[in-house]
Amino acid sequence: MGTRKRIMVDMSTTLIHHGHIRILKTASELGRVIVALTTDDEILSHKGYQPELAFADRKEVLEAIRHVDEVIPSKWLIDEAFLDKHNIDILVHGNDNSNPIPAERLLILPRTAGISSDQLRKVIRRNPQS
């Protein structure tokens, strides 16, 4: 039996949901899953807010998921040099991908319809439970 491929999934998981779990599960069927978790500063810079959970807390949640083998900090965008640095074979991402990765190292999956962290955030803000 050969070495399992190293599969990267990059995500912010500011509010984790079943769409995240589905992409992690699919990635785990391809090999070892390394999550490139966006740092708090990168989220603030690109999305304009501090995540609800700090990086260390988001990392802890991800590490508890059976489909995740490793979690590493990342910038907003993943490039091929980042994949090479971490010995990654394939980057798995939803169809909203903007990472500059060659097609032969990229697997695009459809996003889970009707769910996103941004949508959850809007619901929470509309229905605050004091």
Q: Residue 86 is which amino acid?
A: H
pLDDT at position 15, please?
A: 81
Question: CB within 8 A of 104, min separation 6: which ones?
Answer: none
Q: Which residues pair with 11 in a beta bridge?
A: 37
Q: How far apart are CA 110 and CA 123, in angstroms?
A: 23
Least confident of 18-27, 50-59, 69-78, 111-120: 111-120
> Given this model, what pLDDT does residue 14 score?
86
Interior angle at CA 78, CA 77 and CA 82, nearest 5: 140
Q: Contact, 67 vs 29, CB < 8 A?
A: no
Closest among 82, 95, 121, 109 to 24, alpha carbons compared: 109
| Greater pLDDT, 42 or 120 | 42
Give me the pLDDT at residue 95, please.
86
What's the pLDDT score for residue 129? 67
Short-list 62, 63, 9, CA closest to 34: 9
Over the stretch 1-50, which tens digit does the pLDDT of each residue have? 568 999 999 999 988 888 899 999 999 999 999 999 999 999 999 999 99
Q: Which CATH superfamily is domain 6-126 in?
A: HUPs (3.40.50.620)
C-alpha to C-alpha distance for 119 and 80, rounded to whole angstroms: 30
pLDDT digits (tens, 9 = 90+) for 73-97: 999 999 999 999 999 999 999 888 8
**Domain ranges (residues) in the chain:** 6-126
Identify which of 62-71, 95-104, 107-116 has the greatest average pLDDT.
62-71
Q: How confident is the model at residue 103 (pLDDT cuts 50, 70, 90)?
A: very high
